[in-house]
Structure 1
Amino acid sequence: MDIEEYKASLHQPKPSPDLNRPLQALWYAAKGNWHKAHELVQDEPDADSAWVHAYLHRVEGDKFNAAYWYNRASRPISSETFNKEWEKIAFNLI
């Protein structure tokens, strides 16, 4: 799957079962289901999940929590628009 196919999948009722948890979480975030997205990554120990987790807390407006998760992901705190950061994460995880 490439980024365009991933973005096109947002028209489907559910994400592809072939997607890993961080990509599923981003998918749900794009669909406006922050809670489902958070549920998918909150207990995952890997850096990709931490990056998505950081993004979710930034969207939520919790800068302190987001900073913690960016650190866990070994990523700088983003100052990009939410859409640009979503695209960047998706592109890097696909």
Structure 2
Amino acid sequence: MLDSYSNFVKSLENDRPKEHWSEPLKAMWHAEKGNWERSHDIAQDLHTTIGSWIHAHLHRQEGDKFNAGYWYRQANRKYPTNTLAEERREITEYLLA
């Protein structure tokens, strides 16, 4: 696993995430790389609170506020007011903690 957000950011230079990473962390890696489809494919198969949070973020990014709102509720989170980049970092740091 990674020990810091800065190491995660450095990993974005690679062609793919590390195989031993958790699925949620891989989803965030793909989101940071701009691969919405791959990130969404992973997130929709995560039937957990964190999966719902990632799923919500992706639909927020997509501009689908209604669908995002549903997934934020599933994740027990309020609809965020921070930027998408700030939320990606927040989710990633949560996963790294």
Runs of 4+ in 1 over 6 A off after TM superposition: none
TM-score of the superposed pair, with normalisation by structure 2: 0.92
- The one-character-per-residue Cα deviations of 1:32-73 (angstroms, maximum 9, x if unpaired) are 110000000112211111111000000000001101111111
Q: Percent identity?
A: 39
- Is 1:48–1:73's contact at 8 Å kept on the other side of the alignment? yes
- Is 1:21–1:49's contact at 8 Å kept on the other side of the alignment? no
**Correspondence for 1:69:** 71
What SS class does the counterpart of residue 43 from structure 1 fall into?
Answer: coil
**Correspondence for 1:28:** 30
TM-score of the superposed pair, with normalisation by structure 1: 0.95
Q: Which runs of 5+ in 2 are unaligned?
A: none
Q: Which runs of 5+ in 1 are unaligned?
A: none
Number of residue-to-residue matches in the alignment: 94
